[in-house]
Amino acid sequence: MPAAEQRTSYPKEKTDELGFLKDAFKKVEVAILTSVQGLTVAEVSDLRRKLHTAGVKFRVVKNTLAKKAVAGTPLEVISNDFKQVTAVAWSDTDPVGPAKVLTAFKKELEKFVIKAGFQGGQRLDAGGVDALSKMPSMDELRAQLLGVINGVPAKLLAQLNAPAQHLVGVVQAKKDKDEKAA
91/155 same-domain check: no
pLDDT at position 102 is: 93
pLDDT at position 3 is: 46
pTM of the model: 0.68
Write out the residue range of the structural domain in which residue 156 sits. 150-182
**Number of residues that make up the chain:** 182
pLDDT at position 2 is: 47
pLDDT at position 7 is: 44
pLDDT at position 114 is: 92
Q: What is the CATH number of the domain that holds 104?
A: 3.30.70.1730
Chain centroid to CA 171: how far?
57
State the total domains in the chain: 2
154/96 same-domain check: no
Ordered per-residue pLDDT tens for the chain, 182 residues: 444 444 444 577 888 888 888 888 888 888 999 998 888 999 999 999 999 998 899 998 888 888 888 888 888 888 888 888 889 999 888 888 899 999 999 998 888 999 999 988 889 888 888 888 888 777 777 787 777 787 777 777 777 777 777 777 778 888 888 888 87
93/120 same-domain check: yes
CA 116/CA 78 separation, integer angstroms: 7
By three-state DSSP, how is residue 43 classified?
Answer: helix
